[in-house]
């Protein structure tokens, strides 16, 4: 079993109006640890490509699957009990993307071009 050899010291970043601090996502495989911040607003019924464009238009990105799990655990009350797109395509078929149900936390995938889900955006800040 490996041990964590570093002490994680940080302060919660300043939030813009309407933003919600979701927490810290620890980096894997040498990636930096990061703050995850939920941006205000959502889209109600969009294809994956539309959801990604919308997130970029508000200077955010669709959350990864790991980030969606963090959002469900720490900010679940900020979501409707519905399916939300992640920013991740399926690993073996790029015609599919992952999404999460914010009623009970289940994750699954479906065709990006034909399925409609809600979407929320996040911004990330690396922890130095």
Instruction: Place 54 in a pLDDT band, splitting at 50, 70 and 90.
Output: very high
- Position 19 scores a pLDDT of 98
What class is the 20-126 domain? alpha beta
- Position 8 scores a pLDDT of 60
pTM: 0.90
The mean pLDDT of 28-51, rounded to a whole number, is 94
- Domain range summary for the chain, segments of one domain joined by +: 20-126
CB-based burial label for 59 (10 Å; 0-12, 13-18, 19+): exposed
- For residue 78 the two structure tokens come to 């900020």
């Amino acid at each position: 079993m490996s041990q964590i050899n570093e002490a994680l010291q940080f302060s919660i970043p300043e939030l813009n109006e309407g933003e919600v601090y979701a927490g810290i996502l620890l980096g894997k495989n040498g990636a930096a640890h990061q703050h995850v911040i939920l941006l205000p607003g959502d889209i109600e019924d969009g294809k994956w490509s539309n959801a990604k464009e919308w997130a970029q238009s508000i200077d955010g990105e669709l959350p990864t699957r790991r980030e969606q799990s963090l959002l469900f655990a720490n900010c679940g009350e900020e979501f409707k009990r519905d399916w939300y797109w992640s920013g991740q395509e399926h690993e073996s078929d790029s015609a599919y993307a992952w999404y999460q149900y914010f009623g009970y936390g289940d994750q699954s995938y479906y065709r990006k071009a034909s399925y409609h889900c809600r979407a929320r955006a996040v911004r990330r800040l690396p922890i130095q």
